[in-house]
Amino acid sequence: MNKWFKSGSPWIWMTGGAVSLSLIAVLGLLLLIAWRGLSYFWPAEVYEWQLRDSSGSESTLIGQLYDREQVPTARLESAGYEFNPYPGEFVTRYLVKTGNREFVGLDFRWVLGTDIVSESLPKDLAVFERTKNGNFYGYPVAVIEDGKRLPADNLRVMLKEHVQRAVDLNDDAMTLQKQDIGSINYELERLRLKERGYELDGELTDTRKTELELARQALNDEYKVLETELFALREAAGRDGVVVRDMRGQEVTLNLSQVLDVTYPNDMGLMTKVGHWFKSVGGFIIDDPREANTEGGVFPAIFGTVFMVMLMAVIVTPFGVIAAIYLHEYAKKGPVTKMIRIAVINLAGVPSIVYGVFGLGFFVYMLGGSLDQLFYPEALPAPTFGSPGVIWSALTLAILTLPVVIVSTEEGLSRIPSAVRQGSLALGATKAETLWRIVIPMASPAIMTGLILAVARAAGEVAPLMLVGVVKLAPTLPIDMNFPFVHLERKFMHLGFHIYDVGFQSPNVEAARPLVYATSFLLVTVIVALNLTAISVRNHLREKFRSLEH
Amino acid sequence: MEQSLPGAAHSILKAGHRTSRRAFTDKATAVGVTVGGIMVFVALLLIFFYLLYVVKPIFDSAEVEPVTEVSYQQTQSKALMVGSDEQNEILYRVADSGLVEFFRAVDGKSLGEFKPTLPAGVTVTSAAVATAAEQKYALGLSDGSVLLVKVDFGVTYPDNVRLITPRLRYPEGQQPMAVTKDGSEVRDLSFGYASDKMTFSYRDSNGNWAITRMSGEENMLTEEVEWVSEHETIPDTPRQVTQQLMTPDQRQLLLHSGNRIFVYDIRYLDEISLMQVIEVKEPNTSITNISLLAGASSVLVSFDDGRVAQYFQVASDKGRLYREIRDFNAGGQVAAIAPEFFRKSFVTITPEGELSLHYTTSERDLFDKTFDLKDTKIMGFSPRASALVVDAGEKLHLFRVENDHPEVSWSALWQKVWYEGYPEPQYVWQSTSGSDDFEAKLSLMPLVFGTMKAAFYAMLFAVPLAIAGAVYTAYFMSPKVRGFVKPTVEIMEALPTVILGFLAGLWLAPLVEENLPGMVLLLILLPLTILATAVIWQVLPAAIKLKLPEEFKELFLVPILCLVGWAAFEFSPVLELWLFDGDTRQYITNELGITFDQRNALVVGIAMGFAVIPTIFSIAEDAVFSVPRHLSNGSLALGATPWQTLTRVVLLTASPGIFSAVMMGLGRAVGETMIVLMATGNTPIMEWSVFEGMRTLAANIAVEMPESAIGSTHYRVLFLAAFVLFVFTFCFNTLAEVVRQRLRERYSSL
């Protein structure tokens, strides 16, 4: 045994253990996010518990099981609980989501296992997903149409139809408000800026004044028509209601204009549940967030991330590729090249927050501020480009990801056999022609790899964006139907920041946590997929050139 | 022309034309690409210099330059105060007779004299000023009453042009208020004023120091304030008093007598007492003047040798007593001294005209220059401290003052600073607060300390795991498994840190808090388990070994370790019950007396260690893997065991590469933002405790940058923090890169 120790074999095992631990950590992390993120969409059963606490008072509790933990009995006893009979050293404690926020105050509640008398899964229990106050749990009793209670036969079908009607009307109202009325407001603002612009230039003549006034009048008239329409739609949507018996045994009327969906999770088969799961995932991706981002979807965040990252890719690619070509094809060995290489390494190593600070000071305040003074004096003192926005975020991240593109492109260039270049030059092509016709096409997969890696890096970066353009809730997307259609100065939402914001800044962290896991999973999936693509492109490339070399 | 040429010549000409165009394109491409390449370098330089450019003004010294001078009329009477309006457009001088003269700064034109109307037959017997920021003065009258006057400026915009009109206002009406008990004249007045309470100290008809306090109460019906007066005489007063000062909070009265300052507690009139007598310790110096610094917590004491000392109250076992904190050199005996309205700057001038500007907290001497000003009587800052008015030689001199960032100095950023109200010099980062007269405390030390602490714990966790893992992967692992393991660990590097931070803050932190005994258990059990597995593998009969896939030998540990981890957590509550009465956290706080934050350095260490592992792993693995095979083969052939070969040959050769890996990892840990932001409480404390949090440079920038105003001192200090980070990581990365390049050269020679 002693000899075995001396041979160092145990230490080899120790190093092996380190690898195993790293692997467990990586895979465990990915699994944890995947599990928590995906189970969020699974329709969980709604329980009905009969409770009796130590003082003997009984109550009913309806809700979804959220979490459970083992608590030492001693700790509970010291906190003032009494147990009779003694339940053992540990008591199970359940965290229950009770919903019905407007009636019970807190929509999460801890319940001791010892208090539970009975537990059931009634098939009639419904979950109402709502636009306000979170979920509602209860038994539907009747549908109210236009103030009249409808006969209760075939309740589920009737309820579904009425909910669908309200949802459709609400959708129409939302479209009207966001698109038509939104564009009128936008036009009005443009008119105001135009007037201010004339005023600043001293060209605000009376004819122009009347022209502007006429245009404004026309828009205001249009606005009034649309507004009436909007109110009509909203009123129509609020026509119906549903009577629900909640866990206190009281009948409560919910207005259907606030209800998004009604489900009966206890009455779902496996296939229905899978169907519902896919529907929820889809909704998560294409819906707007609700209730301070703690409910609903993440569409604006996805859109913002993708748009910003694409903008960044457009900026970073030419610079990165040119720099790599310089380093590999043109630069002579010398102090300048060495300095550039050190610059590249350092650009890759500088903390991202420093880029944020630089971006805020240089791009936003200095460049943006100057742009505002030159081109948008009429909007001042309200900044146009002089405040954080998507273009500045893209620029900042472009510098941040520049080294990624350079390193990857250079690697691709170094894999191209020099015989290929020499052949081209020998046939009389100039260096530029060789570059353009031979080298760059051959290196294009490597450039692609660099680009993908840069995009993956940018998509996950949050710290600099907090300074140069990201917000928790952007009222409008950077692209819309209003001229000039692409608004580079606007602030945007970002998946990574969404995680930070909802997880740490939201008023109801408990309720928001599953959503954060789901968002995390989405982001991780995108980034890991991008990286895997890049790796496979690179490996493919290596194989291809290896065959070329022989 | 072209038609006339023969075909061949034509084509040659055309070819020549094309060649020159091709040559031009070639040349242009070369130039373009070179410029593009150098742009990368320029980008780095740009970041460096831009950060410096923003930071630089905080270290600039102040500028004071004369603008204009104005002659005044009331040359025979002493000045009570001088100053200007906020825009430095109008200068004023208050004479001790109560008369105020206003002048336009541009052309020196008089804007009139204002004199408060006094009852018939009543004369001014004494006058006093409030603190600079209040711009108020009080006239003590011969009939025992006092009149309060405020110098005020009204701003109107007729025809969109700013017009400032000077005026006098009377906070408590134009009618003087009776102050002395017996109606005798008011002598040696000093006062403190608030809208519901006024205190006057003066010398009564018997020559004793007396205090009159007037408390206002609003009448419910008429909504008028009714004043109730109390009178009291101060016991134990010095006979000769040269100067008297009352703090604006009306709690203390300072009497300057000879070389001593008597401090009286006048908070409650029935309990007036002598709190402290400040005495000059140094022989041969005497006090020439005392005045209050902005905020009125500090007293500036001028001495005849040109020293100006700052005193403020420090808690001691005898109560809160004034102590000398620091001193400044005015260059000669102080003829006049003036504090700023809101910041802790003050200006002094000698009879010869040497003007010097100081900032107390940062101990900076901002400006020192001799002007042609003889015999200065009084000075006053403008409200925004952008101008200084000096009354010398029967003229008012206006100086432009540029003093944007006096509160920061190199020593204040990196050394302990004694702030007002603190018991001792400390490192404090406290940039904002709710109250107005708050002084920002901008010491970078707590942040740098936090950065170091976070990086230290992260490296403690990451370095052993990453290097051991890299060594094994590069040296012992079969190529097949390596082909899977390496990219898997490396993909971690791409994982957004916001996700790691979120998991650390919301999942790991509660988990660690709940299962502290389990965590400790895990730390002990994991190595033991690995050793046990090794022993079992060693003694396993060869027959079974053969059946197991040798290639995946190392992966057997994965399920075993998972099992142990799970067991440790399952066992944790039981252990907790056993050893710590079921609540480890309570035990740590109550029994051991250690502060425990849920989001602490342990959590950060694990989470950030996690983020750093792939960086170190990847570079170290490359370094070990690229050690030439013939070296290790030679060693093995000479009879060394694989472990001996590893430690004596391979690791030695690869050590520069491993060092550069650690440097890269450190660089990343130092600059990481999101994990620290989310996994700690972000409190700027200086404790190494693993159970407490920290605030790092990076997280601090992320938290405070969005709310700091452009160009403010706070904004520039945050840029400085970014610059420090930049320099930190620049050093680490450059070092790592240089070492790596050396290594590469050495390998190529091997």
User: Residue A18: its chain B contacts at CB < 8 A?
Assistant: 464-466, 468-469, 472
What letter would DSSP give residue A434? I
Binding-face residues of B in 701-720 toward A, CB within 8 A: 701-702, 705-706, 710, 718-719
pLDDT in tens, B44-62: 889 999 999 999 998 888 8
DSSP states along B295-346: TSSEEEEEETTSEEEEEEEEEETTEEEEEEEEEEE-SS--SEEEE-SSSSEE
pLDDT in tens, B87-114: 888 999 998 888 888 998 888 888 888 8
Residue B171 contacts A where some CB pair is shorter than 8 Å: no
User: Residue B529: its chain A contacts at CB < 8 A?
Assistant: 17
Whether the predicted pLDDT of B304 surpasses 80: yes
Verify whether the Cβ–Cβ distance A9 to B538 is below 8 Å.
yes
For the segment B195-223, the average pLDDT, to the nearest whole number, is 84
In the prediction, which pLDDT does B6 show? 54
- Residue B632's H or E segment, with its range, is helix B629-637
Min mean pLDDT across B242-256, B540-554, B613-627, B725-739 is at: B540-554
Q: Say which residues have a Cβ less than 8 Å from residue A419's Cβ, sequence separation at least 6.
A: none
Q: Which sign, positive or negative, has the C-alpha torsion A221, A227, A228, A230?
A: positive
* CA–CA separation, A348 and B47 (whole Å): 13
Which of B514, B574, B702 shows the shortest C-beta gap to A463? B702
Q: From start to end of A159-247, where are the E strands? A: 241-245
Q: Which sign, positive or negative, has the C-alpha torsion A284, A287, A290, A292?
A: positive
For the segment A207-230, the average pLDDT, to the nearest whole number, is 88
Final residue belonging to a domain, choices A72, A91, A122: A122
The chain-wide mean pLDDT, for chain B, equals: 86
pLDDT in tens, B432-489: 766 666 788 888 999 999 999 999 999 999 999 999 999 999 888 888 888 888 888 8
Q: How many independent structural domains does chain A possess?
A: 3
pLDDT band at A197, cuts 50/70/90?
confident
Q: How many Å lie between the alpha carbon of B632 and the closest alpha carbon of chain A?
A: 16
Q: Which sign, positive or negative, has the C-alpha torsion B531, B532, B538, B542?
A: negative
Verify whether the Cβ–Cβ distance B494 to A457 is below 8 Å.
yes
Verify whether the Cβ–Cβ distance B38 to A326 is below 8 Å.
yes
Please indicate, yes or no, whether residues A484 and A336 belong to a single structural domain of this protein. Answer: yes
Residue A120 neighbours by CB distance under 10 Å: 11
Please indicate, yes or no, whether residues A369 and A247 belong to a single structural domain of this protein. Answer: no
Which of A21, A356, A528 shows the shortest C-beta gap to B465? A21
The chain-wide mean pLDDT, for chain A, equals: 86
Binding-face residues of A in 472-491 toward B, CB within 8 A: none
Please indicate, yes or no, whether residues A104 and A161 belong to a single structural domain of this protein. Answer: no
Please indicate, yes or no, whether residues A456 and A307 belong to a single structural domain of this protein. Answer: yes
Q: Which domains does chain B have, with CATH numbers?
A: 445-497+589-749 (1.10.3720.10)
* CA–CA separation, B533 and B527 (whole Å): 10
Determine the number of helices (DSSP H) and then strands (DSSP E) in chain B: 17, 31
Nearest CA in chain B to A388: B706
Instruction: Tell whether A538 is covered by a domain.
Output: yes
Say which amino acid occupies A95: L
CATH number at residue A518: 1.10.3720.10
Task: Report phi then psi at B255, rounded to 5.
Answer: -115, 125
Please indicate, yes or no, whether residues A81 and A151 belong to a single structural domain of this protein. Answer: no
For the segment A383-392, the average pLDDT, to the nearest whole number, is 88
In the prediction, which pLDDT does B3 show? 47
Please indicate, yes or no, whether residues A333 and A388 belong to a single structural domain of this protein. Answer: yes
Mutate to test the interface with A, among B498, B511, B649, B731 (most CBs of A within 10 A): B498
Instruction: Tell whether A36 is covered by a domain.
Output: no
Min mean pLDDT across A320-334, A336-350, A367-381, A472-486 is at: A472-486
Residue B410 contacts A where some CB pair is shorter than 8 Å: no
* CA–CA separation, B580 and B588 (whole Å): 9
Residue A5 contacts B where some CB pair is shorter than 8 Å: no
Whether the predicted pLDDT of B148 surpasses 60: yes
In the prediction, which pLDDT does B470 show? 92
Quote the Cα angle for B502-B508-B510, to 5°.
110
Residue B26 contacts A where some CB pair is shorter than 8 Å: yes
Q: Which residue has the tokens 């960044």?
A: A312
pLDDT band at B15, cuts 50/70/90?
low
Q: Say which residues have a Cβ less than 8 Å from residue A155's Cβ, sequence separation at least 6.
A: A140, A142, A143
In the prediction, which pLDDT does A258 show? 87
Say which amino acid occupies B707: E
Please indicate, yes or no, whether residues A345 and A453 belong to a single structural domain of this protein. Answer: yes
In the prediction, which pLDDT does A478 show? 81
Instruction: Tell whether A40 is covered by a domain.
Output: no
Q: How many Å lie between the alpha carbon of B252 and the closest alpha carbon of chain A?
A: 45
Q: How many Å lie between the alpha carbon of B558 and the closest alpha carbon of chain A?
A: 5
Q: Are B336 and B327 spatial neighbours (Cβ–Cβ below 8 Å)?
A: no
Whether the predicted pLDDT of B160 surpasses 70: yes
In the prediction, which pLDDT does B723 show? 94
The percentage of residues in chain B with a pLDDT greater than 70, rounded to a whole number, is 96
* CA–CA separation, B726 and A352 (whole Å): 10
Say which amino acid occupies A401: T
ipTM entry: 0.89
Q: How many Å lie between the alpha carbon of B507 and the closest alpha carbon of chain A?
A: 10
Residue A432 contacts B where some CB pair is shorter than 8 Å: yes
pLDDT in tens, A532-544: 888 888 888 777 7
Verify whether the Cβ–Cβ distance B702 to A353 is below 8 Å.
yes
Nearest CA in chain B to A520: B499
Bridging pattern class, strands A108-112 and A90-97: antiparallel
Whether the predicted pLDDT of A54 surpasses 80: no
In the prediction, which pLDDT does B686 show? 86
Please indicate, yes or no, whether residues A317 and A255 belong to a single structural domain of this protein. Answer: no
Instruction: Tell whether A25 is covered by a domain.
Output: no
Q: Are A310 and A397 spatial neighbours (Cβ–Cβ below 8 Å)?
A: no
- Residue B623's H or E segment, with its range, is helix B601-625
Q: How many Å lie between the alpha carbon of B727 and the closest alpha carbon of chain A?
A: 9
Binding-face residues of A in 327-366 toward B, CB within 8 A: 327, 329-331, 336, 339-358, 360-362, 365
Residue B472 contacts A where some CB pair is shorter than 8 Å: yes
CA B393 to each of CA B70, B108, B290, B331, B353: distance values in angstroms, whole numbers, following the listed order: 11, 16, 23, 20, 11
Please indicate, yes or no, whether residues A110 and A164 belong to a single structural domain of this protein. Answer: no
Please indicate whether residue B357 or residue B581 has the higher confidence score (pLDDT): B357
Which of B610, B667, B678 shows the shortest C-beta gap to A500? B678
Verify whether the Cβ–Cβ distance A322 to B36 is below 8 Å.
yes
Instruction: Tell whether A6 is covered by a domain.
Output: no
CA nearest to A121, candidates A246, A265, A263: A265
Nearest CA in chain A to B613: A22
For the segment B503-515, the average pLDDT, to the nearest whole number, is 88
Which of B40, B495, B558 shows the shortest C-beta gap to A524? B495
Whether the predicted pLDDT of B531 surpasses 60: yes
What letter would DSSP give residue B439? P
Which of A9, A24, A503 shows the shortest C-beta gap to B643? A9
DSSP states along A311-323: HHHHHHHHHHHHH
Please indicate, yes or no, whether residues A330 and A259 belong to a single structural domain of this protein. Answer: no
Nearest CA in chain A to B571: A70
Q: How many Å lie between the alpha carbon of B135 and the closest alpha carbon of chain A?
A: 32
The residue segments making up the domain with residue A94 are 47-122
User: Residue B642: its chain A contacts at CB < 8 A?
Assistant: 8, 12
Final residue belonging to a domain, choices A122, A147, A174: A122
Final residue belonging to a domain, choices A263, A284, A311: A263
Verify whether the Cβ–Cβ distance B34 to A345 is below 8 Å.
no
Whether the predicted pLDDT of B119 surpasses 50: yes
Q: Please tell me whether the peptide bond between B238 and the residue prior to it is cis, using omega within 30 degrees of 0.
A: no
In the prediction, which pLDDT does B446 show? 92
Which strands, in side-by-side order, build the sheet including B110-114?
Answer: B79-84, B90-95, B100-104, B110-114
In the prediction, which pLDDT does B696 show? 92
Q: Are B213 and B233 spatial neighbours (Cβ–Cβ below 8 Å)?
A: no
Q: Say which residues have a Cβ less than 8 Å from residue B345's Cβ, sequence separation at least 6.
A: B294, B339, B357, B358, B359, B360, B366, B385, B403, B406
Mutate to test the interface with A, among B18, B26, B31, B33 (most CBs of A within 10 A): B33
Min mean pLDDT across A231-235, A545-549, B67-71, B394-398 is at: A545-549
For the segment A217-226, the average pLDDT, to the nearest whole number, is 90
In the prediction, which pLDDT does B14 show? 61
Which of B487, B557, B701 shows the shortest C-beta gap to A353? B701
Nearest CA in chain A to B670: A351
Residue B636 contacts A where some CB pair is shorter than 8 Å: no
Verify whether the Cβ–Cβ distance A353 to B537 is below 8 Å.
no
User: Residue B481: its chain A contacts at CB < 8 A?
Assistant: none
Residue A465 contacts B where some CB pair is shorter than 8 Å: no
Residue B677 contacts A where some CB pair is shorter than 8 Å: yes
Q: How many Å lie between the alpha carbon of B429 and the closest alpha carbon of chain A?
A: 19
Min mean pLDDT across A319-333, B552-566, B685-699 is at: B552-566
In the prediction, which pLDDT does A109 show? 84
pLDDT band at A315, cuts 50/70/90?
very high
Please indicate, yes or no, whether residues A208 and A354 belong to a single structural domain of this protein. Answer: no
Please indicate, yes or no, whether residues A403 and A532 belong to a single structural domain of this protein. Answer: yes
In the prediction, which pLDDT does A316 show? 93
